Structure 1
Amino acid sequence: MKATGVFLLLSLALCCYQGNTVTDGDADKGTEAACDNYDLSKGCTKIFDPICGTDHHLYGNECLLCFHNLRRNTNVRIKNRGMCQKPCSNSARD
């Protein structure tokens, strides 16, 4: 039950930030997500395995990062596995 609540809160947080895209300077950094490993038409698992994207946003798992890229036609890459070190911001980036 707790895992479901965490997943729902994370999903809600991702919805708030889904309009952000990667800046040109960030596109070459990080590693490419293994999106071919997931059937995005069936959705993603609820397993919390945090991924920090090159857009400095936290994704619940690699599949959710792939889903974000597919839905928004972006190329957010994996900056690091685990929590993001730089806080999220809606302001313009340098």
Structure 2
Amino acid sequence: MKATGVFLLLSLALCCYQGNAETDGAADQGTEAACENYDPRRGCTRIFDPICGTDNQLYGNECLLCFHNLQRNTNVRIKNRGMCQQPSAYSDTAQK
């Protein structure tokens, strides 16, 4: 029961946190995922808290990004919290 309460509080904290990746020159490198908070070998929650990775792939939550890194032996970082940005039609035509 106590573990469930702690888990719920951590989940709530993650859901309420709307921080972004660093906004200075290191933004294209992203921020490191807090994989030590998860045990992806035991599975991840189904809570949708989207993360855009530095590989421009959308992950359902931070745990799934960690799981991807563990399975593929990669180091994808967090580009930003939320959906990945799609280039607008205007920016595509402006570059041509």
Which TM-score band (shorter chain)? 0.5 to 0.7
Residue identity opposite 1:60 in structure 2: G
1:68 correspondence with 2:68: yes
Q: 8 Å contact 2:50–2:59 — kept in the other structure?
A: yes
The structure richer in helix per residue is: 2
Structure 1 runs (4+) deviating above 2 angstroms are none
User: What is the alpha-carbon distance in structure 2 between the residues aligned to residue 69 and residue 38 of structure 1?
Assistant: 13
Alignment-mate amino acid for residue 77 of structure 2: R
Report the TM-score when normalising by structure 1.
0.61
Please, what is the CA RMSD of the aligned residues? 1.3
Distance in 1, Cα, partners of 2:41 & 2:29: 27
In structure 2, the gaps of 5 or more residues are: 1-27, 88-96
Tell me how many residue pairs correspond in the alignment: 60
Gaps of at least 5 residues in structure 1 are 1-27, 88-94
Q: Which has the larger radius of gyration?
A: 2
Structure 1 residues 18-57: Cα deviation after superposition (integer angstroms, max 9, x where no partner)? xxxxxxxxxx700000000001121000000000000000
TM-aligned CA deviation for residue 86 of structure 1: 3.6
Counterpart position of 2:36: 36
- TM-score, reference length from structure 2: 0.60
In structure 2, C-alpha distance between the alignment counterparts of 1:53 and 1:38, rounded to whole Å? 17
| Identical amino acids, percent of aligned pairs | 83
What residue identity is the alignment partner of 1:45?
Answer: T
